[in-house]
Amino acid sequence: MRALVAFALLLIGGALTGSVRGLIERGPPPLLEASDLPDAGSPRPGAHDVDELRSIVRAIVTRRMTAGVSLALVEHGRTVWTEGFGFADVESRRAATADTVYRVGSLSKSVFALSMASLEEDGLLDLDAPVRDIVHDVDFDNPWEATHPIRVTELLQHAAGFDEMRFNEMFATRDQLDWSMARVLALNPRSRRARWRPGTRHAYSHPGYSLAGHIVEVVTGRPFD
């Protein structure tokens, strides 16, 4: 199980940082060759210990031309292994370590979606509930609300029909850093208008996740930060 968790994280990191020129000119290289994996003849090869996992990680970093990646294995709330691979700064050849800080960007969305699923398991949230049944202090427009309301799950799936956020929602000044999620969402309601019947199309949208963040505030009674 620990190896599976680390391998999943590595797949994400390798896919994000591959060489763009290489992908354009010759297509993506295979993530791994069979010879890179222990138990290559097994239907589900994997690492049996940290040394084998380390070898797999190094092979992926090399083959995917990844700049750097840092991994941690956590079991039952206890960190059992951490290590960095590749470079934190390619130009200066500064090595990546277990303490290297990365800009995680939208990888945080998958972690956040998992946290909302946990809230549903705890009985605090229904992911299929209409957003308007939960949130009453943030505006959004859905011309199909009577028959096809925007549901929480559609915010997480980028299927609410919302546009992308505007510049005044994207860049914060120093005096805005402690603003509540509701106050941030009040900046530009125009980005939260369903452009088609919710659930029928996919369009990447930060405002959907911002609204989902406020839903977490509402159901938990705690600030999103």
* pLDDT of the chain, 225 residues: tens digit per residue: 434 344 444 444 443 333 333 433 444 445 555 555 555 455 455 677 889 889 999 998 888 888 999 999 999 999 999 999 999 999 999 999 999 998 888 888 998 899 899 999 999 999 999 999 999 999 899 999 999 999 999 999 999 999 988 887 777 778 887 888 888 888 888 889 999 999 999 999 999 999 999 999 999 999 887
DSSP assigned state of 212: H
Tokens of residue 194, six digits:
């369903």
Residue 151 backbone dihedrals phi, psi, to 5 degrees: -105, 160
Q: Is 193 exposed, middle or buried (0-12, 13-18, 19+ CB in 10 A)?
A: middle
Tokens of residue 195, six digits:
């452009």
Q: What is the largest CA-CA distance in the chain?
A: 58
pTM over 0.75: no
C-alpha dist (Å) from residue 66 to 15, 56, 132, 133, 134: 8, 13, 43, 44, 42
**Contact in structure between 96 and 88 (CB atoms under 8 Å):** yes
Q: Specify the pLDDT at position 8.
A: 41
The answer for residues whose C-beta is within 8 angstroms of residue 25's C-beta and 6 or more apart is none
Cross-strand partners of 95:
87
